[in-house]
Each structure stands twice: as C-alpha cells, then as structure tokens.
C-alpha cells in the first residue's frame, strides 16, 4: 500500500524534487539503481509509521466502526473518478469513460453524496486510471524505482505525473490538508492487519514492498493482465544444469567387481596340467 502522508501540494513538490535530484546523480541500470538511498528513506518511513501513524490508526480503528470506515473510503474513491474519467478518454476507452460518469452520478445521487457505493451494487464497474498509467500506455517506461519521504514507493514516471493526478482531484480545491489526513488515517486503519502480516511473513519488507509495487503498477497499465515474461530469463547454460539422466542411471555406490570363481572340476574331469 502506498502511504501518502504529505498534503497534496507538498507531495507533488517532494515527488518532483526527488525524481529530478536522483535522476541527475544516477548512472546505474536496473529497476532499483538507487537502492541505498531508497532503503534509508524506507527505514525513515517505517519509523514514522510505527511511532505515529500506526498508533493513531489503531486508536481510530478502536472508536470508528468498520462500516463507517468503508463509507469514508468509498467517499474518497469517488473523488478519484474525475481523474479516472480523464485518463480513460486519453487512453481511448469511451465505454469505460461512460461507466465513470454513470458511476459517479449514481453514487452522488443515490449513495448519500458518495459515501455509499450503490453503483457497484447495480453492476457498474469500478475503473481506476491515473496519468502514470496513461503515459505508460503511451509507451513511456517507468524509470527507476524510488521511495519518497512520507509518500512511499513510486517510480520516476509516476512521480512526474502525480501533479496532474492532484489537479484532477476535487479535494485539491477545498480543504486539501484536512481531507488528506482523514484519508490517510482511515486507509491505514483499514490495512492494519494486512501490513502487520506482510511485515511478519516477508524476509525483507523493503524488497517485498518494492516488488509488490512494481508488479501492481505493471498489471494496472495492462488492465489487470499478467505481464509477459521473457523466457530467456529462465534459460540456463548446459554447464549449470545437472544431467538428470546420468544421475538416475549411475548408482550411488559402485559395487565391487565380481571375482571369477574357480569351480570344482566335475567327476571324471581333471584340470589342465601345465606341461
């Protein structure tokens, strides 16, 4: 789960600054060339979460019923529909864009101004698109993986596209800071058990979070389809493989060679005599 702890304007500035600064000093290749710096920021974010955000979320979870948390989550999901609508159009998905309009209209009019997800109950699909996905569909690569203070995992493409996501969110034009705080605490409370379990089960939580993020973003760009895997990644040289047939055929221990036995001559036969 991406933790978005900064108010939206500051988050956009932090993301842009991190992407430009790290991009200027990176010469390595691969999805995570800035791992030493990323891990330091990751540890900072983990410390902040464990010392402040998680305790607050636990207190919030203790007094706020789960159905109220779901309603608040639904309200903030509906605020992302304008962003999804714009990106569906940019990706050439008119049917999905029409679903976005219908979904928002139904939830606002019949779902207590967006607090109840009536649209899902009547079968209107829930789409989720952003500008990072759009430029990814247009062929722009993700760039290096990066971790931003208070904002969590990103890649350079998504970081540079985030200001457009913020500009298409209606909460930006009202009390953005207050709305961000409520959304973060509510979302963290909903994922208390999942995050705790992931920390326990993962050998390296940094690697777990990074790989989960990269895989999730790739699937979102492909609209839920599994990314194609290059078969060459799984090809090994012959010298690195065991010859299983030889292993199966050769015994673990070689039996001792049988010694020729001297049979006693039959009756009436005499052994050959040396002249």
User: Could you tell me the end-to-end alpha-carbon distance of the chain, in angstroms, rounded to an integer?
Assistant: 98
Output DSSP code: residue 268: T
On the question of pLDDT at 131 being above 80, the answer is: yes
- Residue 175 pLDDT grade (very low, low, confident, very high; cuts 50, 70, 90): confident
CB 143 within 8 A of CB 101: no
Angle between helices 66-79 and 81-90 (to 10 degrees): 40
On the question of pLDDT at 165 being above 90, the answer is: yes
- Residue 225 pLDDT grade (very low, low, confident, very high; cuts 50, 70, 90): confident
Q: Kindly give the residue spans of alpha helices, DSSP state H, lying in the chain.
A: 8-25, 35-48, 54-63, 66-79, 81-90, 94-110, 118-121, 131-137, 156-167, 176-190, 192-201, 205-221, 244-249
User: Looking at 13-17, 72-76, 177-181, which range is the least confident one?
Assistant: 13-17
On the question of pLDDT at 89 being above 90, the answer is: yes
| Mean of per-residue pLDDT scores for the chain | 82
The predicted pLDDT at position 224 comes to 83
User: What is the C-alpha to C-alpha distance for residues 149 and 21, in angstroms, rounded to an integer?
Assistant: 14
- Residue 9 pLDDT grade (very low, low, confident, very high; cuts 50, 70, 90): very low
**Token digits of residue 220:** 């979102």
**Token digits of residue 21:** 């600064």
User: What is the C-alpha to C-alpha distance for residues 41 and 15, in angstroms, rounded to an integer?
Assistant: 13
**Number of other residues whose CB lies within 10 A of the CB of residue 88:** 21
The predicted pLDDT at position 228 comes to 61
Determine the 3-state secondary structure of 253 from DSSP. Answer: coil
User: What is the C-alpha to C-alpha distance for residues 125 and 119, in angstroms, rounded to an integer?
Assistant: 8
User: What is the C-alpha to C-alpha distance for residues 106 and 11, in angstroms, rounded to an integer?
Assistant: 31
**Token digits of residue 90:** 């940019």
Contacts of 252 (CB under 8 A, 6+ apart): none
Q: What is the mean pLDDT of residues 240-264?
A: 48
- Residue 172 pLDDT grade (very low, low, confident, very high; cuts 50, 70, 90): confident
- Residue 273 pLDDT grade (very low, low, confident, very high; cuts 50, 70, 90): very low
The predicted pLDDT at position 100 comes to 98
pTM over 0.85: no
What digits encode the pLDDT tens for the residues 153-162?
999 999 999 9
Q: What is the mean pLDDT of residues 154-182?
A: 91
Contacts of 166 (CB under 8 A, 6+ apart): 8, 9, 11, 12, 172
The predicted pLDDT at position 27 comes to 42
The predicted pLDDT at position 29 comes to 58
Q: What is the mean pLDDT of residues 59-68?
A: 97
Q: What is the mean pLDDT of residues 75-80?
A: 96
On the question of pLDDT at 252 being above 90, the answer is: no
């Amino acid at each position: 789960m991406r933790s978005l702890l900064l108010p939206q304007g500051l988050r956009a500035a932090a993301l842009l600054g991190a992407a430009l600064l790290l991009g200027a000093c990176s010469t390595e290749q691969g999805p995570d060339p800035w791992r030493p710096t990323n891990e330091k920021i990751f540890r900072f974010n983990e410390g902040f979460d464990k010392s402040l955000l998680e305790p607050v979320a636990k207190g919030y979870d203790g007094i706020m019923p789960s159905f109220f948390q779901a309603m608040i989550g639904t309200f903030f999901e509906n605020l992302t529909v304008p962003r999804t609508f714009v990106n569906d159009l940019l990706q050439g998905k008119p049917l999905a864009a029409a679903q976005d309009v219908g979904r928002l209209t139904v939830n606002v009019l019949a779902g207590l101004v967006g607090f109840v997800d009536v649209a899902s109950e009547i079968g209107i699909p829930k789409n989720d698109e952003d500008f990072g996905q759009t430029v990814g569909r247009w062929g722009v690569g993700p760039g290096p993986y990066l971790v931003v203070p208070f904002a969590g995992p990103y890649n350079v493409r998504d970081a540079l596209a985030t200001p457009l996501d913020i500009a298409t969110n209606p909460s930006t034009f009202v009390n953005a800071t207050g709305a961000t705080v409520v959304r973060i605490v509510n979302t963290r409370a909903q994922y208390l058990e999942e995050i705790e379990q992931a920390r326990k089960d993962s050998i390296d939580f940094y690697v777990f979070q990074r790989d989960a993020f990269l895989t999730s973003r790739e699937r979102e760009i492909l609209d839920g389809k599994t990314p194609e895997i290059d078969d060459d990644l799984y090809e090994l040289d012959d010298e690195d493989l065991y010859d299983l047939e030889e292993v199966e055929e050769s015994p673990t221990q070689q039996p001792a060679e049988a010694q020729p036995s001297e049979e006693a001559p039959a009756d009436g036969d005499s052994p050959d005599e040396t002249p």
